[in-house]
Amino acid sequence: MFDFLADSLGLLILFGTISIATLVLSSNVAVKKLTGLAGYFRLSTTFMGVTVVSIATSIPEIAAHYTASFGILSGALDFEVSSAVVLGANIGSDVVQQTLIMAIVVLMAGGLHFKRYFLWKSMIPMIVTTIMCIILGVDGIYSRVDGLILFGTFIAYMYYLYADERKHYKEEDHGFTEEGETPEGVPQNSKEAWRDALIAIFALLITVGSAMIALQATEVVVARTGIGGSLIGVMTLGVASALPELITAISGVHHGDSGIPLGTLVGSNITNPLVAIGGGAIISRYWVPGPLVFWDLPWETVTGAILWMILWFSKGKLGKWGAYYLIALYFIYITFRMVFFSVD
């Protein structure tokens, strides 16, 4: 899409800046409407973040995987190179979200509080998902059977979340009163709910489209480098792919609701591997570069486990020192990746 701008870095930066600004505005609208819809349908904002919003913000990764998979299947794309790039982007995006983006959100919010129930219900599945990707990819291939296992796990997890939500949802979490008063921003009737749903869908489409434009601009910038495919994915496409989650999480903090950012960041780390890698592997299979199995995925697993332990022993509180720790983890990760795992 941006091949005609390949020789003009200034125009590429301009396009990227415009797309990011559009992404910020549209995601802000989407979060506001989705928060209201969560109240109307008696669903927690955390549930909306883990399911609807995380799926929507993961569309760049999902779209990249499925596009690459059909290209591999048709013979238009190289099996190993395309596999390495999309897998690197997917896993790199997850690492960025667990560390750098989580830290940014914490610093902006002045701290976040995770309920211990959330640590079991969402963060443990996030860690288990990463371990599944290591086990299934250690033979160097994500087969169609592996893809079915991953995608099937996602369907089962979504069903569990919905059933669990129906048991534990409390109306007071959204500000409903015993007198029946409806909180501000929550639709009053089905007509308003449909209107807000359509606005949210449109805003999310703009958010994702803007992110994909930024993603394509990034591809042009790195197209002429000799870096390994998975490292390109981790360092550039992975960061660009995480933009929707970053902006959506920041918008949630801006609206004073930690459920959306927490649900989105953790939910995307579940959606990305199960839906993107799983669905893509069902279509075409993937070659799995060694650095992903022996560095990226283990690092993501360890980072998630350490974050879980910090939150558990701090009773769910994550402050600025925890944020600084996460930032340090990201830069340690990327430095070792560049020095020791630059070649697939």
For the cut 80, the answer to whether the pLDDT of residue 16 exceeds it is no
User: CA-CA distance, 16 to 21, in Å (whole number)?
Assistant: 9
Give the pLDDT score at 252: 61
* Residue 124 in domain: yes
Domain count, the chain: 1
| Residue 188 within a domain | no
Residue reference for tokens 């749903």:
197
Distance CA 175, CA 320 (A): 28
User: Is residue 98 very low, low, confident or very high in pLDDT (cuts 50, 70, 90)?
Assistant: confident
- Position 151 in a domain: yes
Residue 306 covered by a domain: yes
Note the pLDDT of residue 289: 87
Rounded Cα distance between 209 and 215, Å, is 10
d(CA 297, CA 31): 30
Helices (H) and strands (E) in the chain, counts: 18, 4
CATH code, domain with 128: 1.20.1420.30
Q: What is the mean pLDDT of residues 97-117?
A: 77
Task: Give residue-wise pLDDT tens across range 112-144.
Answer: 777 777 778 778 888 999 999 999 999 999 999
pLDDT band at 229 (very low <50, low <70, confident <90, very high): very low
pLDDT cut 70: percent of the chain above it:
64
**Quick check: 263 and 92 in contact, CB under 8 A?**
no
Read off φ and ψ for residue 223, nearest 5 degrees.
Answer: -60, -30
Domain-embedded: residue 245: yes
Which has more confidence, 30 or 239?
30
Which tokens go with 176? 């409903």
Distance CA 53, CA 46 (A): 10
Q: Which domain holds residue 330?
A: 54-170+214-340
Nearest 10 degrees: CA dihedral of 56, 59, 61, 65? 140
Higher pLDDT, 64 or 276: 276
Count of residues in the chain:
344
Q: What is the pLDDT of residues 263-277, one digit of tens each?
A: 777 778 888 889 989
Tell me how far apart the alpha carbons of residues 244 and 113 are, in angstroms, rounded to a whole number.
22
Q: Cα(30)–Cα(202) distance, rounded to whole angstroms?
A: 8
Tell me, what's the pLDDT at 152? 95
Comparing 51-65, 93-107, 127-141, 144-158, the range with the smallest average pLDDT is 51-65
Domain assignment present for 297: yes
User: 288-320: per-residue pLDDT in tens?
Assistant: 988 889 888 998 898 888 888 888 888 778 788
Asked if the structure places residue 241 within a domain, the reply is yes
Model pLDDT, residue 144:
95
3-class DSSP state for residue 286? Answer: strand
Domain assignment of residue 40, yes or no = no
Helical spans, DSSP H, in 75-177: 79-96, 102-109, 116-118, 124-137, 144-168
Q: By C-alpha distance, which of 249, 222, 283 is closest to 109? A: 249
